[in-house]
Amino acid sequence: MTSTVVAETYDVTMLGVRDNVPADAGNGEVAARKELTAADAEARLEVLRADRAQRASRAAEARAEAVRPKFVLPTRGRLSSCFCQRWGTMHWGIDIAAPMFTPILAVADAVVITAGPASGYGNLVELQHEDGTVSIYGHMETIEVTAGDIVSAGDLIAKVGSRGFSTGPHLHLEIYPDGPTGNRVDPQKWLADRGIAV
């Protein structure tokens, strides 16, 4: 006789049948039934809810990471000097003229390897990027990071100034694709290759 027939014949619920029918362990012996208390069940459900929330958080982070800009323009302003010969010498970066205290941003994710005074640069910030490229920012009025800081593309690192060998407020930007001892390349082209127009 099945449990359903038993329930119908004796007018009891299936739960009542379950509670009164011993379980067969498969070897002719009656197996002890394992049950959770209500408190234990709630605790396990809390684990389930926490896991679901964690997975949702990871999914949200993945979506945010997918749309986050990987490269940005370091500051808003006017290109005032190119990567070119200037006054008989090579100018190894670009200058972007901007008002004093205009925010200067990290061009890409990086770690800050230098931040502070630096001779002709006045103030200097040097960032090491994940692919080995180093970007250098000069002449800032204020520096907003310290060596060892981790920054993301678009994070504030400094503010425009006119310190060092400078004729007016601007950002001087240099790019070293092979690290600080390698050759410098045109930052305007480097940014353009990554979809950023100066």
- Average pLDDT per 10 consecutive residues for the chain, totaling 198 residues: 51 50 56 83 92 93 90 98 92 98 98 96 97 97 98 98 97 96 96 97
Cα(32)–Cα(42) distance, integer angstroms: 22
Phi-psi region of 29 (alpha: psi -120 to 50; beta: other; left: phi over 0): beta
pLDDT of residue 7: 46
User: 3-class SS at 127?
Assistant: strand
Which backbone phi and psi does 32 adopt, to 5 degrees? -75, 135
Please tell me whether the overall predicted TM-score, pTM, comes out greater than 0.85 for this model: no
Q: How many residues does this entry show for the chain?
A: 198
Closest CA to 139 of 166, 157, 114, 115: 166
- 191: nearest Cα among 129, 141, 139: 129
Which neighbouring-strand residues pair with 134?
128, 176
pLDDT of 52-88, one tens digit each? 999 999 999 999 888 999 999 999 999 999 999 988 8
Report the alpha-carbon distance of residue 68 to residue 106 in Å, rounded. Answer: 14
To the nearest 10°, the Cα dihedral for 89, 93, 98, 101? -110
Q: Where are the domains of the chain?
A: 3-67, 78-192
CATH architecture of 78-192: Distorted Sandwich (2.70)
pLDDT value at position 34? 81
